[in-house]
Amino acid sequence: MDKTSDYQQKASNGVEDYLTDEIQELLSTLPREKNFDGSYLYQYQGFWYYLVESSHICNCSSFSLCIGTQSLTTNPHELVPFIDKPAYYLKINQSPTTSTFGTHIPYSSLPHSIVDSNCLIVYMCRNPLDQFISHWHFLLKIAQDRKMEPLSLEEAFESVSNGIQGFGPFWEHVLGYWKASLENPNKILFLTYEDVIENTLFYIKKLAEFLGCPFSDVEEKLGVIEEISKLCSFENMKDLEVNKTGKLQPDRGPKNSYYFRKGKVGDWTNYLTSAMSESLKILMDEKFTGSGLTFKMS
């Protein structure tokens, strides 16, 4: 069995020993810090990464244009598999018709096969305060399931202020895709969650045009855009039975319900003190100065 086939077999079986001696040796040299849920993050190429388990699926901020009955019976993370998760490695290779994938990889770390190809990239991010609170709640639930000692809100806040969080620093991750989208707007569509929530119909139309599948006049008159908006709304997705029960992998991983909490813009005000929010706002202002990128906080 060649190395690729061996890796595929181990990933598909959920075996963690796909980590080679070379990777294990590399891990031993990398800086590490505790994540919000008490597990460890490793710093590589300037970003903080989870030690990927074959079952590990992290919160992904992405807007998927889901049409058809599959979106009513299948969790979004199954419809849009991750290119960087071992659990999906074999599945992707066995599904040549799959053309939409997700990833948390920073732009600077994307392989040349993506950056230099004709594939289109849609990047979605939230304002840093809501993103922090959402991520913290998500990992708290995972910590409870795994009986781990999570970081307190104050400890997690200190970590994120120092750029230590999964796939962080936040500002480096966002700026990487933001700058790339300015340089190549025909390849990268940069969206913010707040803008999409505020003007959903406009951005559904914009997304369709970006993907080269614009709506026809007839489709617009028939209310197709409005129907897609209802189908993909947070409220509808959260209320689907598939997203209220079960897991992507029955014996492991986060529950499907963990991916749907509130989805409200400005929910951070219910958790952060004035001093904490002001501190993070000042930090983000410093990091994003001159970039032209701003966020709606509420």
- Would you give the distance in Å from CA 237 to the centre of its chain? 16
Q: How far apart are CA 147 and CA 169, in angstroms?
A: 27
- Would you give the distance in Å from CA 47 to the centre of its chain? 15
- HSE, CB side, 13 Å, CA atoms: give it for residue 272: 25
Determine contact, residues 251/83, Cβ cutoff 8 Å. no
Q: At what angle do helices 170-183 and 274-288 cross, to 10 degrees?
A: 40
Q: At what angle do helices 153-161 and 274-288 cross, to 10 degrees?
A: 20
What is the pairing mode between strands 47-50 and 40-44? Answer: antiparallel
Q: How far apart are CA 105 and CA 183, in angstroms?
A: 19
Write out the catalytic residue numbers: 104
- Give the end-to-end CA distance of the chain in Å, rounded to a whole number: 54
| Tokens found for residue 207 | 């997304």
| Tokens found for residue 124 | 């979605």
CA triplet 24, 26, 31: central angle to 5 degrees?
A: 110
Q: How far apart are CA 210 and CA 122, in angstroms?
A: 9
Determine contact, residues 145/69, Cβ cutoff 8 Å. no
Q: How far apart are CA 278 and CA 275, in angstroms?
A: 5
3-state secondary structure of 233: coil
